[in-house]
């Protein structure tokens, strides 16, 4: 305890002494926000184009979200999944009819990694019901290189990035990775032990990579041919971020067969809660192969659960946030603002930039690593180019997020304005040009 004679500790001191060092953090201490803006404890104002890593879909302190949380907290925060909570039933209907717009059911969790755990368990259950010729369960889930599916033990096994696995072996068995968008590799990977294929329609942590329509179609075809489950991880790219409520449909674009591509399950978190910790999976109401129950009923009573998932407070928050997104067509706004942002970035002719990719407001600025590393300040920092640039932007009071070594991600609130985009592009341009000029 601090006594009156001790010097008060700074936030940085508190982190160094008491917070486990699992994150490399910027020395910035945010205390309040409003829309796309954040203030730190020293009163400095930042333009937030990181959005809490694609979480704050309505921006900060949105009155509808804050109001719903306050009202629900004053009436019922938690009871138990032993009971039929009206708020959970109402939200499940909204997600099935308003977001997916196709028959199914929802299981509620508390985070993205935990939502995906539900998918892995569904795969194991389905593989037990539809075994290999020798009677053993099929257990293998195919995911792709550079994917990210969370930090649990199954999550790091599913993730196609060595850096999250390293030092945590032996990894959970039952995952195989193929190169993203490589149709032939995907076809070759399917074997008698395969039970599911799992993809992000747009990879976030992997550097903003969009699935090709051909890859999505091939996945669907292989799932039908070999009786596999088709899982989509829309945790980062879902519910409006890509300019559409269902990210895989944005990735498919106008391609003629897009209407026939329906996943068996989708995981959500991040932007769906608008900042309230939340996760969920949608499960399709359809039967497959010889199994009598529809997919949405395969995880029966006692098979899966979590104390907090779908609690009244979370459901009230998510219902309010999703109603705001649906009623104001923030997915459409995200598409329009994404186009505007990409156009402005192109016109700005920023130094270092090789490419701008992504969909809607999920944008990756790909930089020329050699050009950034040639800066003496980058060399001295010892940081990879993306992190060095995100740090420089942070100092200039524009918040962005790195992905891999060469991508700066822009993930602003879905209700961002053109004026805020203009300001962000101006900050990017002046920061990058200053780095060149002071080299
Ligand atoms: C695509 C994807 N899946 C899963 C996760 C894990 O979600 P959480 O951090 O809520 O566990 C993330 C988080 O970045 C993600 O981007």
The whole-angstrom distance between residue 415's C-alpha and the CA centroid of its chain comes to 18
pLDDT at 256 exceeding the cut of 70: no
Query: Predicted confidence band at 65 (pLDDT cuts at 50, 70, 90)?
Result: very high
Residue length of the chain: 439
The whole-angstrom distance between residue 276's C-alpha and the CA centroid of its chain comes to 14
C-alpha–C-alpha distance, residues 71 and 415, integer Å: 23
Across the beta sheet with 37-40, what order do the strands follow?
A: 30-34, 37-40, 45-48, 398-399
Atom of ligand 1 nearest to the CA of 116: 4
**Lowest-confidence pick of 27-31, 252-256, 317-321:** 252-256
What is the 146 CA–ligand 1 centroid distance (Å)? 13
What is the reported pLDDT for 402? 97
What would the mean pLDDT of 107-136 be, rounded to a whole number? 98
What is the reported pLDDT for 6? 78
Ligand 1 atom 10: the closest Cα is on which residue? Answer: 112
What is the 113 CA–ligand 1 centroid distance (Å)? 6
Tell me which residues have their CB closer than 6 angstroms to ligand 1. 111-113, 116, 148-150, 200, 204-205, 233, 235-236, 269
What is the reported pLDDT for 3? 58
Average pLDDT, the chain: 96
Pick from 176, 184, 219, 185: which is nearest to 199 by CA?
A: 219
Task: Tokens 């001790």: give the residue.
Answer: 6
pLDDT in tens, 137-159: 999 999 999 999 999 999 999 99
What is the reported pLDDT for 290? 81
Helices 312-327/86-93 angle, 10° precision: 30
pLDDT at 5 exceeding the cut of 80: no
pLDDT at 70 exceeding the cut of 90: yes
What is the reported pLDDT for 126? 98
What is the reported pLDDT for 1? 55
Asked whether 228 and 291 are in contact (CB, 8 A), the reply is: no
Pick from 152, 156, 145, 82: which is nearest to 305 by CA?
A: 82
Please choose from 144, 146, 150 the residue to mutate so as to test ligand 1's pocket, defined by most ligand atoms within 8 A of CB. Answer: 150
Domains annotated for the chain, with CATH where assigned, are 11-50+330-437 (3.90.1150.10), 65-327 (3.40.640.10)
């Amino acid at each position: 305890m601090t006594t009156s004679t001790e010097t008060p500790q700074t936030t940085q001191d508190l982190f160094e002494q008491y917070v486990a060092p699992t994150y490399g953090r910027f020395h910035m201490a945010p205390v309040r926000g409003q829309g796309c803006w954040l203030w730190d404890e020293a009163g400095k104002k930042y333009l937030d184009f990181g959005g809490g890593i694609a979480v704050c879909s309505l921006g900060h302190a949105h009155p509808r979200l804050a109001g719903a949380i306050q009202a629900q907290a004053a009436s019922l925060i938690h009871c138990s999944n032993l009971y039929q909570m009206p708020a959970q039933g109402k939200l499940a209907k909204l997600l099935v009819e308003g977001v997916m717009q196709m028959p199914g059911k929802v299981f509620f969790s508390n985070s993205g990694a935990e939502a995906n755990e539900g998918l892995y368990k569904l795969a194991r259950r389905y593989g037990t019901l539809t075994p290999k010729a020798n009677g053993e369960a099929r257990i293998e889930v195919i995911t792709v290189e550079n994917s990210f599916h969370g930090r649990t033990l199954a999550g790091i096994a599913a993730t196609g990035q060595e850096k999250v696995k390293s030092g945590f072996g032996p990894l959970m068995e039952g995952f195989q990775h193929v190169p993203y968008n490589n149709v032939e590799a995907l076809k070759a990977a399917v074997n008698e032990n395969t039970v599911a294929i799992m993809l992000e329609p747009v990879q976030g942590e992997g550097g903003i990579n969009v699935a090709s329509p051909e890859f999505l179609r091939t996945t669907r075809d292989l799932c039908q041919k070999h009786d596999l489950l088709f899982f989509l991880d829309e945790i980062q790219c879902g519910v409006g971020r890509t300019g559409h409520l269902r990210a895989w449909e944005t990735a498919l674009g106008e391609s003629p067969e897009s209407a026939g591509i329906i996943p068996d399950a989708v995981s959500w978190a991040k932007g769906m809660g608008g900042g309230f910790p939340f996760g969920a999976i949608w499960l399709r109401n359809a039967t497959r192969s010889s199994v009598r129950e529809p997919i949405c009923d395969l995880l029966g009573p006692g098979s899966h659960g979590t104390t907090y998932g779908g609690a009244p407070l979370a459901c009230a928050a998510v219902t309010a946030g999703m109603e705001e997104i649906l009623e104001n067509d923030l997915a459409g706004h995200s598409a329009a603002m994404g186009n505007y942002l990409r156009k402005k970035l192109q016109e700005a002719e920023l130094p270092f930039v090789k490419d701008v990719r992504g969909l809607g407001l999920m944008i990756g600025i790909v930089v020329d690593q050699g050009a950034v590393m040639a800066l003496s300040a980058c060399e001295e920092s010892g940081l990879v180019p993306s992190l060095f640039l995100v740090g420089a932007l942070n100092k200039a009071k524009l918040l962005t997020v790195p992905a891999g070594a060469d991508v700066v991600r822009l993930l602003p609130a879905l209700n961002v304005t053109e004026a805020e985009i203009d300001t962000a592009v101006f900050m990017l341009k002046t920061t990058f040009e200053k780095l060149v000029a002071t080299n």
